[in-house]
Amino acid sequence: MSEFLDQEIKFLPGVGQKRAELLYKELKLKTFRDLIYYFPYKYIDRTKFYSISQIHSQMPFIQVKGKIRSMETVGSGIKQRLTARFYDETGSIELIWFRAIKWQKENLVLNKEYIIFGKPAEFGGKINVVHPELETEAEKQLQPSGLFQGYYNTSENMKKKFLNSRTINKLQLTLMHLAKGKIKESLPSSLVEKLKLASLEKSLITIHKPENTLDLKNATFRLKFEELFFIQLKILALKHNREKKFKGFRFEKVGYNFNKFYNDFLPFELTNAQKKVIKEIRRDVNRNSQMNRLIQGDVGSGKTLVALMIILLAMDNGFQSALMAPTEILAQQHFQSISKFLEGMNVKIGLLTGSSKTKARRELHAALESGEIQILIGTHALIEDKVIFNNLGLVVIDEQHRFGVAQRAKLWKKNDLIPPHVLVMTATPIPRTLAMTVYGDLDVSVIDELPPGRKPIQTIHFFENRRNQLNNFLKQQIEKGAQIYIVFPLITESEKMDFKNLEEGYRQITEAFPDVKVSMVHGKMKPNIKESAMQNFKKGDTQIMVATTVIEVGVDVPNATIMVIESAERFGLSQLHQLRGRVGRGVNQSYCVLMSSYKLGTESRQRMATMVRTNDGFEIAEVDMKLRGPGDIEGTQQSGIGFDLKIANLGKDGEILQMARNVASDILDNDPFLMKDENKLFLKNLMASKETGFSWSSIS
């Protein structure tokens, strides 16, 4: 990229040292490049004028020519405001300022013609505009032409220092003027011509100062494509590099353990989806390169059984396996379920968690190093230096987004010569576009069928006035032998209001169900007390568990058939879906009841309607991403890739992303290391990129 854009922002006319410090503190804008890539979030048509008689409070923005006839200061102290009466030939409106009152009074001239621009509101039956933009006809003529004016996100702190959207717009126009002829193309001309893309310079100028809608559309496409293209190029280049660089163990033999389990111990017929995924994995582990594969599937879809069969394949080929889970409860659950699956087979399984006793640890370490333990299941305790494997060939990571990059890397390096195959499992459905980006370097398998006999969970949305109806339904289900989860929101452990809700809810439930055993679980409990309460519920000693979201991932109780989620509007879609997945584990019909207040916003209503309509985790994830954006989807923040998309939107730009990935893939297929002359510009830009260090990509 050009040296011009690397200049510090303080050198741009109109900025200076103090504004530069504020721009960096609030928006992380340090250079000309940072500013030019800080795009408007919307555009307003500044060619249209209204008369005052046309204005009503529902209009998004208005632009009017007229004169200020009177001004007065009202109130005192922090409640002081300046009001002005603004007239045109059709009527008058009130203009109001709460800030910079002294400056406005000194600079505004009565009976001088101004153009005002702002958002109309209604108060006491009268229309007003708070903090309007004002300029004279002469000042407007000095503005460069352009059909739209871009609007930029700013902070309250910036607005107090007169660094608002309009000021940013002026700085962008100054930068555009200086940048002409100095912005170098970032894509080869052959690719720009082939895809009929607008030039980079024209796109950057147009995005801040569009002349017409077609130019704006072309500029937006060019900038979105480039942003997504370089992300995919990085991801796929690292994938190519890893496949060439890292050899993998070959699991050629399908032997005694795999066949014995499949023929004699398989608890139920595998679904077609499970069979397909096992075939994909077997193909991976029979090549000479290291496998890095992600299995996506809803809670209860049979991911663990698939992982177990690959573990048995590793055993048949003389290798140990490790399964790492994010919590002790989940690690113990995997240990119990895999031990039960393999009961009757001569397989040595170890469990290692933070609460493992010292003597048991020493014995486990020795048995692991000698090769006696064939499968080790545990939490992050697996990555401790003292844990030494005899011949680790397969690593299975459950709910991988809950582990940091460094933690995964340590486990990955447990075999010095050749890295083990890596199988990642997640029950958090990820939208296709997000999977292409967060897990773009992994091969993705999807289990999209539930095991036979499972009935879809019925989801119901009740408002508070249906509480008695809910309690009667719960009593009937308890009489039939059902167990029930009742979950309360606990956004942070310190929120007193949430704890009050939880404890109040517990009290109300014990009063409503006096003859029923009720337990309570939350994250502030001591681990042994929490574990005891969960085990009592699992054994059937308690019928109702009142809990926070600590049960979102963890205890598996086939007899629990009802999930009641209180204040459901306070949960995100992904979390609602995860909580719902705690039931529906057995053959009986299961239910999820969403309880909410009447006052629901548009998004909350959409979340409730989506949950009632579908059990499909992938459809839910797509809706979730459209509502919240990709950065908030569970997993993206912890996964090791920080999304810093300037203009692309993974919820809306799936087609552009697929196109960018296809182009990047074609380039790398022909030139894996970008050594050809026509590809050297790609390499240069990749090396210069701030996010080049995608170390997560080579370690899953």
Q: Which of 116, 145, 174 is the last residue of a domain?
A: 145
* Whether the predicted pLDDT of 430 surpasses 80: no
Q: Find the range with the poorest average confidence among 223-227, 370-374, 504-508.
A: 504-508
Structural domain includes residue 186: no
What is the DSSP annotation of 279-338? HHHHHHHTSSB--EEEEEE-TTSSHHHHHHHHHHHHHHTT-EEEEE-SSHHHHHHHHHHH
**Whether residue 467 sits in one domain with residue 419:** no
Instruction: Tell me the H-state helices in 540-653.
Output: 573-580, 602-613, 617-628
**Whether residue 541 sits in one domain with residue 471:** yes
Instruction: Please give the share of the chain, as a percent, with pLDDT higher than 70.
Output: 89
533, 507 in Cβ contact below 8 A? no
Q: At what angle do helices 200-208 and 213-245 cross, to 10 degrees?
A: 130
Q: Which of 414, 447, 480 is the last residue of a domain?
A: 447
What is the rounded CA–CA span in Å between residue 682 and residue 106?
55
Q: What is the pLDDT of residue 659?
A: 92
When divided into structural domains, the chain yields a total of 3
Structural domain includes residue 12: no
**Which pTM was predicted?**
0.67
**Residues linked to residue 396 through DSSP beta bridges, in sequence order:** 323, 423
CATH number reported for the structural domain that contains residue 487 in this entry: 3.40.50.300
What is the rounded CA–CA span in Å between residue 253 and residue 586?
35
What is the rounded CA–CA span in Å between residue 21 and residue 16?
9
Model confidence pLDDT, tens digit, residues 481-503: 999 999 998 755 555 555 557 88
Instruction: Please give the share of the chain, as a percent, with pLDDT higher than 90.
Output: 42
| Assigned token pair, 221 | 């496409």
DSSP symbol at 263:
I
Model confidence pLDDT, tens digit, residues 500-547: 578 888 899 999 999 999 998 887 788 788 888 888 888 889 999 998
Task: Give mean pLDDT, residues 622-627.
Answer: 81
Task: Give mean pLDDT, residues 171-182.
Answer: 91
* Whether the predicted pLDDT of 684 surpasses 90: no
432, 654 in Cβ contact below 8 A? yes
* Whether the predicted pLDDT of 156 surpasses 70: yes
Model confidence pLDDT, tens digit, residues 651-666: 778 889 889 999 999 9
What is the rounded CA–CA span in Å between residue 224 and residue 221?
5
Structural domain includes residue 402: yes
Task: Give mean pLDDT, residues 226-230.
Answer: 92
Q: What is the pLDDT of residue 282?
A: 94
| Assigned token pair, 46 | 């500044």
595 CB-contact burial (10 Å; exposed 0-12 / middle 13-18 / buried 19+): buried
Q: Which residue type does 399 have?
A: E
Structural domain includes residue 560: yes
Name every residue whose Cβ is closer than 8 Å to that of residue 264 and which is 6 or more positions away in sequence: none
**Whether residue 443 sits in one domain with residue 468:** no
Q: What is the pLDDT of residue 42?
A: 86
**Alpha carbon 11 to its chain's center:** 36
What is the rounded CA–CA span in Å between residue 299 and residue 615?
11
Q: Any idea which residue has 């024209």 for tokens? A: 202
Q: What is the largest CA-CA distance in the chain?
A: 96
160: how many CB neighbours lie within 10 A of its CB?
12
What is the rounded CA–CA span in Å between residue 155 and residue 170?
17
**Whether residue 507 sits in one domain with residue 547:** yes
Model confidence pLDDT, tens digit, residues 445-482: 888 887 777 788 999 999 988 999 999 999 999 999 99
Could you tell me which of 344, 144, 373 has the C-alpha nearest to residue 260?
344
196 CB-contact burial (10 Å; exposed 0-12 / middle 13-18 / buried 19+): exposed
* Whether the predicted pLDDT of 577 surpasses 60: yes
| Assigned token pair, 14 | 């109109």
* Whether the predicted pLDDT of 679 surpasses 60: yes
**Whether residue 282 sits in one domain with residue 263:** yes
User: Which residue range forms the structural domain that includes residue 484?
Assistant: 458-614
**Angle at alpha carbon of residue 675, lines to 671 and 677, rounded to 5°:** 105
**Whether residue 312 sits in one domain with residue 420:** yes
- pLDDT class of 682 with cuts at 50, 70, 90: confident
**Whether residue 432 sits in one domain with residue 339:** yes
Please state whether beta strands 421-426 and 392-398 pair in parallel, antiparallel, or not at all (unpaired). Answer: parallel
**φ/ψ (deg, to 5) at 450:** -90, 150
**Whether residue 373 sits in one domain with residue 312:** yes
Q: Which of 599, 614, 629 is the last residue of a domain?
A: 614
CATH number reported for the structural domain that contains residue 106 in this entry: 2.40.50.140
Query: Roughly how many angstroms between the first and final C-alpha of the chain, as a whole number?
Result: 31
What is the rounded CA–CA span in Å between residue 384 and residue 54?
71
Structural domain includes residue 306: yes
User: Which residue did the predictor score with more confidence, 630 or 241?
Assistant: 241
Q: What is the pLDDT of residue 522?
A: 82
Structural domain includes residue 583: yes
What is the 3-class SS of 608-629, one letter each residue?
A: HHHHHHCCCHHHHHHHHHHHHC
**Whether residue 411 sits in one domain with residue 334:** yes
**Whether residue 425 sits in one domain with residue 397:** yes
User: Which residue did the predictor score with more confidence, 149 or 436?
Assistant: 149
**Residues linked to residue 695 through DSSP beta bridges, in sequence order:** none
Q: What is the pLDDT of residue 640?
A: 38
Q: What is the pLDDT of residue 620?
A: 86
Please state whether beta strands 375-378 and 392-398 pair in parallel, antiparallel, or not at all (unpaired). Answer: unpaired
Structural domain includes residue 165: no
**Whether residue 558 sits in one domain with residue 503:** yes
Structural domain includes residue 126: yes
- pLDDT class of 625 with cuts at 50, 70, 90: confident
Q: What is the pLDDT of residue 412?
A: 62
**Whether residue 362 sits in one domain with residue 487:** no
Q: Find the range with the poorest average confidence among 155-169, 399-413, 508-522, 610-624.
A: 399-413
- pLDDT class of 637 with cuts at 50, 70, 90: very low
**Mean of pLDDT over the chain:** 84
**Alpha carbon 169 to its chain's center:** 30
